[in-house]
Amino acid sequence: MRGGRHIAAVTGAGFDLAAGECLALVGESGCGKSVLASALLGLLPGNAQTAGTATIDGPEGAIDLLTADERTLARTVRGRRIGLVPQSPAAHLTPVRTVRAQLEETLRELAGTRKADLRRAAQAAAERASFPLGLLDHHPHELSGGQAQRAATALALIGDAPLLLADEPTTGLDRDLVDRTADELRRHADDGRALLLITHDLAAAERIADRVAVMYAGRIVELATAGRFFGTPGPRHPYARGLLAALPERDFAPIPGLPPELGALPDGCAFAARCDRATEACGAVPRFADGVACHHSEEPARA
């Protein structure tokens, strides 16, 4: 709720994610990707409301993340069943403690590392996320944005949680570090864990994702295998095709117009005002079926 109005930040988002799999959730800024991640961890503002189910399985039984109480989320879920690489690492790093101290504390709590082994284990955790060992004794305010991002990634990987939520994990990194970070996240999945990669970096998604979910104006409008999405025959939703066409290595053609405000969504298809294939049928909200939500997904793409 904002200013006395109800805003549907995410509506009807449904997907599954298996162990050993990476699902990339992509879309323009403000489409609801990070809100979805916050909902799964119980980190939404106090006036937010959720409905539906979001179940995570585990050896101790399944937990519905949307109805779990704070005690369960804090002691059983966060860091243990679900790890988080945050979009804003500065807000998740303790400002008065060095990176080394935060790594060692997390190693004690989540990995049960013995005191005698903490220094070596902290260095190994830093190297895993390509964090410079020479900066381990620095405080967060002494780090660049990219360095803080790698510190947060190192902390998130320590617990080897069955599910890792990586929210824009490559922000502030150069291309080489983007690739190294993406590859390390992929190894997390290859070791039998699940990875939800929330990103606007389609190159990183193409590098490591098994499937791609495209979000627009709070809704998932396409869900496809990465091979189909990035290769042949390509995306079926006009918005998804537009995202790929905007890449410099492709057409470098931006999608015209701007996405709608989540608090003032139009009737019908939210993408219709920006779509060159819109018709009167788009006055109704398209039903998500067979992996896509579009009235014209089966029509041949225009040149």
3-state secondary structure the chain: CECCECCCCCCCCCCCCCCCCEEEEECCCCCCHHHHHHHHCCCCCCCCCCCCCCEECCCCCCEECCCCCHHHHHHHHECCCEEEECCCHHHCCCCCCCHHHHHHHHHHHHHCCCHHHHHHHHHHHHHHCCCCHHHCCCCHHHCCHHHHHHHHHHHHHHCCCCEEEEECCCCCCCHHHHHHHHHHHHHHHHCCCEEEEEECCHHHHHHHCCEEEEEECCEEEEEEEHHHHHCCCCCCCHHHHHHHHCCCCCCCCCCCCCCCCHHHCCCCCCCHHHCCCCCHHHHCCCCCECCECCCCCCCCCCC
Q: Is the pLDDT of residue 303 over 70?
A: no
For residue range 227-253, what is the model confidence (pLDDT) as tens digits?
999 999 999 999 999 999 999 999 999
Distance separating alpha carbons of residues 36 and 40, to the nearest angstrom: 6
Q: Please state the rounded mean pLDDT for residues 99-115.
A: 95
The share of the chain scoring above pLDDT 70, in percent, equals 97
Average pLDDT over residues 198-220: 96
The predicted pLDDT at position 107 comes to 96
Structural domain boundaries of the chain? 92-160
Nearest of 240, 166, 169, 220 to residue 196 by alpha carbon: 166
298 pLDDT band, cuts 50/70/90, is low
Q: Tell whether the model's pLDDT for residue 295 goes beyond 60.
A: yes
| The predicted structure's pLDDT at residue 297 | 82
Give percent above pLDDT 90 in the chain.
87
| Mean pLDDT for the chain overall | 93
Report residue 299's pLDDT band, with 50, 70 and 90 as the boundaries: low
Q: Tens digit of pLDDT for each residue in 30-59?
A: 999 999 999 999 999 988 999 999 999 988
pTM comes to 0.93
Quick one: tokens of 152? Answer: 């947060």
Q: Could you read off the pLDDT of 246-287 as tens digits, one per residue?
A: 999 999 999 999 999 988 899 999 999 999 999 999 999 999
Question: What residues contact 269, with CB distance under 8 A and at least 6 apart?
Answer: 275, 278, 282, 283, 284, 285, 286, 294, 295
For the record, the structure tokens of 196 come out as: 């939800």
